[in-house]
Every structure is written in structure tokens, then in C-alpha cells.
Structure 1
């Protein structure tokens, strides 16, 4: 009998940098506007969490943006601070004035965007890239070239962009799925094809329009990208970006890859960004949502209590969380007994079936879980009812015995 084939997928690169763009691309989410203080605090938290590169903003936007960027630069955080720029002299001059160490010079790569936005053809785009990258490199910047809409661009043109950028002095090229049209398979194919031709590092930048940003990012990394753009909570325009917490946790789980991110810092970082963005975090948000390590189903809880691996793919302690068992419509006697035991109660086996029925009825009526406090109240009430019934039953038996004793002499007469 043939041995089953082992997984032949390439091993995920173990040395990948997650470059955070929460303060630039994340802030482009509708209605999000961070204050200078919030940007400073978020930048400090990102650095403390192990992020090594932060895309801090767009200097050419105006005085307020420039002052904020300068304030972050002045903190001298142990990270590379990058400014996002269009590939124009105006934007580059603003970046020089801001004091950042790195620039991402962005230019459309697809025919659609080159024509509609800039009126350029591919040859004209290559000339602009060569000129602006040389100028930025001469100014002492770490230079990355951003290929906007790379997912819809001609592959040969992308290869020429990479070659031109590298020759002019760029250290990295960013492949952006600007409108979120890739899937993991096409992402892998795109990145793998370009990696073998590229003399410099590639970065993948995903958008979540079809809910595939994190999956596409992992595919890009597995294909050979050494950098990936992420934002905390996947914050970003339209459906958002690849989430820092999802990509970092997934890399740790799948391949034990070390991104340098302190995973236990992610919940606090997510809460901080959610508050600053004035956006509530969904309870089901992977890694950081309130309910993602919460279990109600009786079958699941019974398995978890025997071996946590039965229904737990991501160890919550890895990301600074803990498992939680709640009681609801789908809970069984094992879960109820477990929660009661945490309150110093032992579930009477004779009451187990009735208790399960009572809990399920309450959960259905309230369309909610049953809190531990309420569970104890229900159980204590049921025990009291049982004691009363037992007491009444005992009194009835005594009365019957007494009546029988009184009547016997009469029968003998």
C-alpha cells in the first residue's frame, strides 16, 4: 500500500517582516481620523509589540500631517519610519522635510490606472520610476517602490518595474492588490513568478474586498515575499487590509515562523486602535474578538475539558487570551457541571437532566447565554424545590403511617 503523500507546499519563509500601515492606509478607512497624540501612542505600541517598520503617513497632505510625522520621528522609536509618496518631486520634497528615513514611492502598474490617473504608458512609467528612485536614493532614503494595482498589471511590465527600480537604487518593491481581486492561488502564482526574477525584496500588500486579505498575504509570503503590509484589525479603506494580528498568529501556527511580533501584545494593541478609530471590534474577529475563544456547545465543551486540542486550533495563551466556557441553549450537563464547580457547587446527577432542560429554556427565552451567577440561582432554586418535594413526601408518608396506626385498633374491635 502506497504511503500518503506529504504536504509538498513550500515552507513559509521564516524571516518575514510585517510592515504596519495602520497610521497611513488604516487611517484611510471612512470616518477614521487619528489625532497626533493617538498616532504617537499607536506608533509606540507598535514598536513595543515588535513591529520594525511603520508607514507613518503622507507628508504632502498638509501642515497637520507634517507636524504629526515630525512628532513621531522625534520620538526616535526603534523602528524604520516610512512615508507614503506619489512618485512626484512634490511628494518626495515633503518627505525630505518630514525627517523620515524611508519612502514608498507609489505609481500605478496597471494599464487601467496608468491611463486614467496619469495619462502614461508603460514606457513612460518606467522613466518616471528610474528618475524618482535615483533622486530618493541620492537623498539618503531607504527606497521602496509601490506598484499600485499590481494584481491587474501585465506580468512582463511588473518584471521591468522591479528591474528598473533595483537598478536605480530601490531596496524593495511592493506588489499591491489595490482593489482586492486576487485569491490565494493567483497571489501565489504572481509572487512566485516575480520572486525568481527579482534582485531585491518583494512585499505583498493585500486588500480585503472579498475577505481574502490575510489568506492572500500568507500565500504571497509562502511564494517568497519577504515583507507584507498589514494593519491592526485590518483597518483600511473599503473592506480593509490584511490584519496584523491574523497574519502574525497564522504564521506562528502554520510554520512556527518568527515575525518578531510579540503575539501577547496583540489584544491590547487592537483595543487601542479600535478606540482611537471609534470602531467597535466584532465579537467574532479572529484572534482579538471577545468570543473567539468562547465555547458553548455541549459536545465541544466535553471534548475541550478532556483535551483542549479537540476543539482548539489556536492556543489562546499564545496571543495573550484565555479559554472561556459559557452556558446557553446548546450546553450539556458536562458544561453546566463545570461552570457550577467554579462556584463551589456539585451538580447532583439526579438533577442533571432537569437542569439542562431549565437552562436551555432560559437561553431560548432570553436569546442569550446564562451567566454563572444566574446558573447558580437556577441550580440552588432547583435544589430547594427538590428538598421541598422530598420533605413533603416524607411528611405524607409519616401521616399515612400515623393514620394506619390509629385505625388498626378499631379494626381489631
Structure 2
């Protein structure tokens, strides 16, 4: 399968998370870190927001990053001019295409929406810009009208079209079929922009990649409006391990990026968060620990060190004798007999149930020494 490129929109859609504000310095540093991870394109913000946003984008442009920088715009010529003022040579132009949005948000009709797109696209191409035409609420747009909309964009020189699942209502099968349909009927690049309202953003992004999408839109830690977007770190690892796409992204740098964005957004990473959670390689179940100690591949298909994480063997209600034997040998350098192991196991489980938590190495050692 072709290598799908990533567009990161943490600095735009990620910052649109309710209550999240990045400082100028934070946005510049996030852009630099995204570049170091190897992200192909960064959506740096909304130039039309005004002077402070434009100043930040200009500073990012001055960094001469290897990643392509793209600004987000409404379907208005003045928005495009703001992007040009920032020194950007690529623009994403978002235009509502569903009948719900056209009628209630724009108070318009399909014909006028296409005319709006033509006007701003022709202006953008005249200015020599790379253009992505974004269909807002594409997942609730009639496919025949959306194809007409995209074909007009293609004929007028658009470089890419974005299928935006703005409300996060798609599922992986429908996403795959939509992308396949548009890839078969268009000759320009197709992007998938997935939201996570039903918890399927990453799955939908991967389905889009499997159907031939050229770009996937992601955000660090899955930040974004309402329930967020497809998570950058999850998409990268799913492409590699679930789909088999060879990726060159620096995952150790990605972990640092995720931690920094968590701090800057005040949205901290849960211990169980896929890919970056601190405890996703921690094991307690007796069967699992026994397997891990014999061969990590039994229950770990990713290398925790590649992700900058650590493995943990936890002592609790579900612990088995293999874990206790391993821990006691590590702590005392003694080989514990089976009778003692069973006694320690019984006492340890009782205490873990009573305390409603896992026990520390010191508590295990105390139980063993009091036998």
C-alpha cells in the first residue's frame, strides 16, 4: 500500500478544543517538534483570526521547516489574502457542503456554494498557491453532489480535496467506501479528516488509508472540538502495525511532543492512553505475566523502548506465582520454593483485595520475610 502522508492540525483544530489556548511560543515549539517527528504537513492556524495569530504563523514560516505549512481559511478571498500575508504557499479552504449546513448555516443553496468555491479557488490558484478544498460536513453530504463539487475543484486546479467527517458520525466501512468512491472518480489527492464523537476517529482514518487516501488529518493526543480528532500517535502506530505501512516517524520524539502538548493544553495523558500512556506495558494478570516472562512477544507486539516507555510487573489481585517468583528473585536473589510461593500469593491477594490496589515491591518483601 502507498505511504499515506499526515497533516497535523493540532495548531488549528487542536486549539479549537473548548478551553484550550496555546501561547505564541508554544505554537512555534509544537510546529518545530512536529517537523522533527517527520510530519509531512502542518496546518499552522487560521490567519484570518487577526494580528496575533498572523504574527505567530509568520514566525513559524521563518523557521524554514521541512514540513509543508498550510493555513486554514473560509471560502472568502480576504481569508486567502491573510494567508498570503503570512508567507504561506498552501491553503486549506473550508466550505460547507451538506444540505443542513447550506440551508441553516449559510442560508444558501448548492449552486451558490459551488460558485463560492470557484471564486476563492480561482483567486488562490492565480496567486500560485497549493490548494486543498475542504468539504465541511462531507459525511452528511449527498455523494453525487459532493462528487460534482470535487470535480469542479479538480478542473480548476485544486491539488487536494478533504473529506471532513465534521461530526464524527462515520464508521470504518463507510469511510473506506467513501474514500474508494472518490479515489476512483477523481484524479487529485484525497484527504480524510476524522472526528472522534463516536470513538472511531483513528479507525476511520486508518480505513481511509486502506482505501487509498493520500493524506490523513490528525492531532497530537487527539485534541479537537468536542470529542477530538484522530490521534497522531495512534494513527502512526496503526499504520505501521495494523496496516503494514512502512513509516519513518520518530516515535521517541513523538512521545515528547505528546507530553508537551498535554502540558500546554492542560489535557493530561491517562496512564492507559493508547501508544503514550505510561502504564500500557504494565502487566498484572498471572497468565499474561507468565507469558511475558517467557517471551515478551506473547503479549507485546510493540517494543516499549521504541515508544520511550517502560514495562512494569504489577502485584495485585490477579497476580500469579510467576510474577511473585520473578519479583522475589529480583529483590532477594533467592530461588523461592513452591510452598512459600503459594503462601505469599494467598497473603498478597488478600491484602490487595482489602486495600483495593496493587502492592509495592516493599510490601511483597515484607509478606515474604514474615512467613
Tell me the TM-score range normalised by the shorter chain: over 0.9
Partner deviation per Cα, 1:166-214 (whole Å, 9 max, x = no partner) = 1212100000000011001111111111110111000000000000000
Q: Does 2:333 correspond to 1:345?
A: yes
Candidates 198, 201, 226, aligned match of 1:210: 198
- Residue 79 of structure 1 and its aligned partner are, at CA, apart by 1.0
Residue number in structure 1 paired with 2:13: 25
CA distance in 2, matches of 1:181, 1:116: 19
Match for residue 50 of structure 1 among 12, 33, 38: 38
Structure 2 Cα separation of the partners of residues 283 and 61 of structure 1: 35
Say if 2:194 and 2:229, in contact at 8 Å, map to a contact too.
yes
Map of 1:1-400 to 2, 5 A cutoff? 13-346=1-334, 347-382=336-371
Secondary structure of residue in 2 paired with 1:24: helix
**Structure-2 separation of matches of 1:205 and 1:345:** 54
Q: Would the aligned equivalents of 1:14 and 1:259 in 2 still touch at CA under 8 Å?
A: no
Distance 1:314 1:260 in 2: 15
In structure 2, the CA distance between the partners of 1:286 and 1:67, relative to structure 1 (3 Å rule), is same
The alignment partner of 2:161 has SS state of: strand
Distance 1:80 1:73 in 2: 10
CA distances 1:290-332 after superposition (whole Å, capped 9, x unpaired): 2211110011111111122222233323433332211111101
User: Secondary structure, in 3 states, of the residue corresponding to 1:211?
Assistant: coil
- Let me know the Cα RMSD of the aligned residues: 1.4
Stretch of structure 1 that moved more, 99-108 or 356-365: 356-365
Q: How many residues align?
A: 370
Quick check: 1:108–1:114 contact (8 Å CA) kept in 2? yes
**4+ residue runs over 4 A deviation:** none
3-state DSSP of counterpart to 1:77: coil
1:224 deviation in Å?
Answer: 1.2
1:373 positional shift: 2.8
1:160 to partner: Cα distance: 1.2
Match of 1:399 in 2: none
Classify the secondary structure of the residue corresponding to 2:53: helix
Unmatched 5+ stretches in structure 2: none
TM-score for both structures, normalised by structure 2: 0.96
1:102 deviates by 1.0
Name the residue aligned to 1:393: none
| Gap runs ≥5 in structure 1 | 1-12, 383-413
User: Deviation at 1:370?
Assistant: 1.2
Q: Which moved more, 1:236-245 or 1:256-265?
A: 256-265
Q: Deviations over 1:102-156 (max 9, x none)?
A: 1100001111111112122112111111121111112121110100000000111
TM-score for both structures, normalised by structure 1: 0.87
